[in-house]
Amino acid sequence: SQDDRQRLSPRPKVSVEKYLQPFQLSPETLQEVSARLRKDLLRGLGKHSHHKAPVKMLPTFVRATPDGTEKGDFLALDLGGTNFRVLHVRVEEEAQKVQICAIPQEMMLGTGEQLFDHIATCLGDFLESHNLKGQTLPLGFTFSFPCEQLEIDKSILIRWTKGFNCSGVEGKDVVQLLKEAIHRRGDYHIGSVAMVNDTVGTMMSCGYKDQSCEIGMIIGTGTNACYMEEIKNVKRIEGKDGRMCINTEWGGFGDDGCLDDILTEFDVEVDKTSINPGVHIFEKMISGMYLGEIVRLVLVKMTKDKLLFKGQISEALGTPGRFETKFISEIEDGLENAKKILTELGLDWDLVDASVVRLVCDTISSRSAYLCAAALATLVNRIRNNRKLGHLKTTVGVDGTVYRKHPTSKLQKAVRLLAPQCDITFLVSEDGSGTGAAMVTAVAQSSACVTASRGKTRIKAAFVSTNARR
Ligand code: BGC
């Protein structure tokens, strides 16, 4: 009853602390994490160390950020976050038409052919409903998985991450698979295609508004970042001058065991029961696909040890995946939310339970923010060192539900601590990575027809090219 609930049955503070302490990372530990990542960035960039490097540091063929004057009319696809989206983007008008299509879970685990047929159908329906079927528009394809990019329109999937695991796609050119699916339908055409990672799309769309944006960061279903690196440091690419955007794939940090000392038993369990055990260890400590499950496992353990809910695990709490990541921010928002969610999960809670649960949520989401801060600090410090600057002022374009829904003050404060000579502005992407993908497409298109139709090209800045110099 309500009376029971109000009655406080105090929990020994030390017991609660025992569960939370492994998640609390000191500034020194974060500094150490940042130092380890610094080494891994170098391994990823190296010609001979790359193939074994857990942080892949993938070249993107994007050689400059926008200057804000870009124009054009494009289609964009965005696959890999919470939703699959089809967009029609007019860059100069900031106009967008967007359609969200669900990707059913069985399709995320089905065959590649089914997935790409579904994508081609969604695009076809979109073109139909917006009267665009007769046009041949260039297409920006945001594909948010690690890919070895061979050209702007040739990109080999290294591995699926997050909830996807479609057969017959790893090792294949994803642009080709998309084109084949469109060809199978045969009822519409698309123009040139440019493939980008969502981090790159985010950096480009934020860069359109703020020209000092040189980093794109995602903390959503998955986590990752890209940044502008000096080409002379990218040993797998020929050329010495200028910069190229590198997709770090920092989610893979720790895949060689270098973070084992900070993993908790709950992280190990989440990894073990995921669809891709052993890979994307850093991502599994940070991103939305996993945070809820970490909290659930901690709560289950505390309940088994009779610290919560009078020792009774409800069916919902005992079910993997039932504690959604969105509950974390809702619970952190207020005690009333916490009570409501605990009731919905069928738990017999009292007020102390509710506040302990809030503490657990706060501890796990804070760790996520601090780890991201350590990784981001590594990138800004690297950019500053690359340019031999005493002080760096830069902007980070950010997107992702986890970033949007959680207080960002912890992340920002920790980055300031870990990168004291860098002054960072955080710019949340308003339109996802669609516009950014479209912008990359624009230039891919302009470089493809550079001799044939330069006059017709509506894009000013050639910030993408497939040859060494800009
Ligand atoms: C993928 C990245 C992507 C990130 C954020 C990760 O799982 O490997 O390519 O940028 O999620 O969506």
Least confident of 43-52, 205-214, 376-385, 431-440: 431-440
Q: How far apart are CA 138 and CA 173, in angstroms?
A: 18
From first CA to last CA, the distance across the chain in angstroms is 70
Q: What is the tens place of the pLDDT at every residue in 82-106?
A: 789 999 988 777 667 889 998 998 9
The per-residue pLDDT for 3 is 55
Q: What is the tens place of the pLDDT at every residue in 273-310?
A: 999 999 999 999 999 999 999 999 999 999 999 999 99
Q: Where are the domains of the chain?
A: 59-209+432-444
**Comparison of pLDDT for 278 and 67, the residue scoring more:** 278
Q: How far apart are CA 335 and CA 206, in angstroms?
A: 35
Mean pLDDT throughout 233-242?
90
pLDDT at 448 over 50: no
pLDDT at 159 over 90: yes
Model confidence at 14, in pLDDT bands (50, 70, 90)?
low
The per-residue pLDDT for 372 is 98
**Comparison of pLDDT for 455 and 28, the residue scoring more:** 28
Query: What value, to the nearest 5°, has the Cα angle with vertex 87 and ends 85 and 90?
Result: 155
162 lines ligand 1 (CB under 6 A): yes
Test site for ligand 1: of 149, 161, 165, 200, most ligand atoms within 8 A of the Cβ? 161
The per-residue pLDDT for 15 is 84
Model confidence at 65, in pLDDT bands (50, 70, 90)?
confident
| 198 is a catalytic site residue | yes
Q: How many CB atoms lie within 10 A of CB 265?
A: 12
| pTM of this structure | 0.92
Q: What is the tens place of the pLDDT at every residue in 165-190?
A: 999 999 999 999 999 999 999 999 99
The per-residue pLDDT for 6 is 56
What DSSP line would sit under 404-452, residue for residue?
HHS--HHHHHHHHHH-TTEEEEEEE-SSTTHHHHHHHHHHHHHHHTTTT
pLDDT at 452 over 70: no
78 lines ligand 1 (CB under 6 A): no
Least confident of 216-230, 404-418, 441-455: 441-455
> What one-letter code names the amino acid at 170?
E
Model confidence at 2, in pLDDT bands (50, 70, 90)?
low
Residues 6+ apart with CB under 8 A from 453: none
The per-residue pLDDT for 453 is 28
381 lines ligand 1 (CB under 6 A): no
pLDDT at 458 over 80: no
pLDDT at 194 over 80: yes
The Å distance, Cα 161 to ligand 1 centre, comes to: 7
The Å distance, Cα 298 to ligand 1 centre, comes to: 26
Q: How far apart are CA 356 and CA 321, in angstroms?
A: 20
The per-residue pLDDT for 66 is 82
Mean pLDDT throughout 326-335?
95
| 162 is a catalytic site residue | yes
358 lines ligand 1 (CB under 6 A): no
Strands 84-90 and 422-428: unpaired
Mean pLDDT score across all residues of the chain: 89
Is residue 119 a contact partner of residue 84, using CB atoms and an 8 Å limit? yes
The per-residue pLDDT for 446 is 53
What DSSP line would sit under 325-338, residue for residue?
HHHHHHHHH-HHHH
Catalytic residue among 162, 284, 405, 410: 162
Q: CATH second-level architecture of 59-209+432-444? A: 2-Layer Sandwich (3.30)
Catalytic residue among 40, 173, 198, 267: 198
